[in-house]
Chains A and B, each alone.
Chain A
């Protein structure tokens, strides 16, 4: 058994769990609920095992480091963060319908990892820092929250098509099983708040790391700049809500736009722009 196999199982488990969660939503098949949750938990355990094993393997080949140092490893960790964050929400709000809009992100992240070079490579000197771990963990907890918030935003927009003038159009329709829009709106907001705290911590740990490696905590390289843009998008969303009472569709859209900024910061910058953070590029 090696980490690639475990992570292969993880991808498969997340895929089937996604299908089940979507099934619960589309066919109102509540009976699938337990199976979906169990599969997700199994996938999450594989995911955890895969990360741990990869960590061990890196030491075996003499390139020992926490498995968070390249695009492949970060995608796997991203999936892990999404899975545990969603499981927490499911447990806390006792609602599986969010799963249809959140679990597919975990699968997509694993699938994308599948397209990325999985070789364990030794760390270049700049990456040999404990700040690397602090930076990656804080960023990805935040990103995972934003992914789920975007899923909730989509869920809200889908849900709101069934409501007209404050009334449900078709009380027996597909969307009637969704939690009330107010609840979705509230969870979206709380998720963004949570993500914002971690994104801030992610930017800060990155700045401290850069300062300890190069003597410059901020150099406006494309990745840094995009993380700041993302931060502004969410700061805008939070202020619009606190002070102007924005909610509903507008916040749902901002959750989606914010996540697009996250995806660009995380993924797009590496492939489309050049800069210091080129670790995923090669």
Chain B
């Protein structure tokens, strides 16, 4: 018997605006209206400024930990732009640009990283899930949201974001398998930023692309230049179309780069080449987009200068709003443990003691909870 190939494929890489400023007119013309490109660029500049301010807040002791988003703005922003408001953004923790585009108030994100969990009180109807800090667990929730959308018969999509490192987690594989087997409207959006904290991608995945991991689950998959917002928008639109019309999931690998440290608790200089960093700085998604706008007469230095001033005022106001919120009394942390507070928590709250130190239940002061 001859040996015959039973499966052949390839992985495509999509770029529309490359790092040298070359623009694929065929794919890119009319993809995003000019005024929207301007709005997206303005948004990136403001988000970048927030990143710089948050870093300084952390260094000056006003913020616990902060994961810089610098260099990755085009990925979540492009996705949020391409999706509809009814679609879910199921994020991890480096998607500020997309979350703010959706409408999440900046002070909530600042508040969260300042160590106040009221920052997670996401306004109703934004269709955004809480930050997911354990790696990869949120992908299954996206699969569940996709499942629920299908069950309810609405045509919402769940788009989940994660890094290259998360594709080594079991939850990633289980989420992908479920979404493909059950025909769910889910977009798996991998931000391959080359580093899982200090571990380079090549140590996590020996295949030439992360995108091809989707093939194993019978899923459409594509690699895009993640610093090219045009390519991201097109890839996500195509995936959304596939999800809405055919209930099929898509895996997108967006190749980008983390220009900052993993978080403020990390120092990437200890493990990363300056040369690599300098090369990626030239591929910054904002530089590329600015060049595109300049070439079309849509932007100039004076607009940039006034935008910079606007960004500074905007972020300063957000920081002020976050700082103005009064600290929580300790009794508040019992509030959201159960929909209705059970007696043992009421007792802990009223005595402000753990059960092992608590007073006799019969004599404990219950008046505080009545």
A and B together in one complex: no
Q: Which residues does A use to contact B, with CB under 8 Å?
A: none
